[in-house]
Structure 1
Amino acid sequence: PGGGMDLGESIADAAVRETKEETGIDIEVTGLIGVYTNPRHVLAYDDGEVRQQFSLCFTTRMLGGTLRTSSETKEVQFVAPADLDKLNIHPSMRLRINHYLEGRPTPYIG
């Protein structure tokens, strides 16, 4: 799940809200996997807005909820790490997953 922060919201609160909105799952943020930036990843919107995207990737604990899709998700499911190679995952997303699976002692900054 991903998205932007609302005014007056902490980054952890935004992660909790976006996860609930996009997956139906209630979480709490437990740590930081990394900060991901790419100067070549620039988004140009129809309204003329241009952004260089970045993301913060968190570890979380699932508290409850029921998996469901939303207007922002086509499919939601849990996938075993051994099955990840069967999926078409963008390299930038796979990097984040790999960093989590490695159990890195400090957050990635890049």
Structure 2
Amino acid sequence: MTKRTRRIDYWHDPDAPKPTTRKASASVFVLDDAGRLLLLRRADNDLWTIPTGGIKKGETVAQCAIRECREETGLEVEATGLVGVFSDPGHVIAYLHGKKLDEVRQPINVCLRARVTGGRIDPDPREAADVAWVDPADLDGYRIHPAILRRIRHGLTSGEPYVE
């Protein structure tokens, strides 16, 4: 039996492990016609997030965001704008395989606005334990990492791109 990779997100934690890599990722901020936000519950750490993943070689930021949304939720989206570029060095992600620390990543995320163009909610269980459309007023009822919540809050409150 193979052991699953576990993910631990740190936020401005002085005891966090030191980063070993810096990797770009893309995410999508998707609202439906009722103003509800698309969220998924990660299978690797049980936290709620917007669709997000690492950019692969030969892929644009938009292609990555669209692919990740499809893989994680089953929904097809189209990128429509920019929420922002998030690169706070206080966000560190540790990946463990069993008890072995494989990587400690300091992410750089480009968060795009998007709209649903097709598909149906059908999450890959390796990626997402659940997918939901959430009223922004109910976000406090979901366990969301502070780095993701920053993207969400900015997407909800500003039409101007955020850059750090």
Aligned pair 1:87/2:142, yes or no?
yes
Task: Give the TM-score taking structure 1 as reference length.
Answer: 0.87
Q: 2:105 aligns with which of 51, 69, 75?
A: 51
Map of 1:31 onto structure 2: 81
SS at match of 1:58: strand
Query: Which of the pair is proportionally richer in strand?
Result: 2
Identity of matched residues, %: 45
Deviations 1:1-24 (A, max 9, x none): 111122211110111111000000
Relative CO higher for 1 or 2, CA cutoff 8 Å, sep ≥ 6?
2
2:115 equivalent among 37, 58, 61? 61
Match of 1:77 among 132, 137, 142: 132
- Mapped partners of 2:122, 2:68: distance in 1: 13
Query: Which residue does 2:39 correspond to in 1?
Result: none
Greater fraction of residues in helix: 1
CA displacement 1:27-78 (0-9 Å, x = unmatched): 0101110111121223344464442112111100110111122111111011
Whether the 8 Å CA contact 2:56–2:64 is kept in 1: the answer is yes
- What amino acid does structure 1 have at the position aligned with 2:143? N
CA RMSD of aligned residues (A): 1.6
Q: TM-score, normalised by structure 2?
A: 0.61
Q: Which amino acid aligns with 2:150?
A: L
Structure 2 gaps of 5+ residues are: 1-50
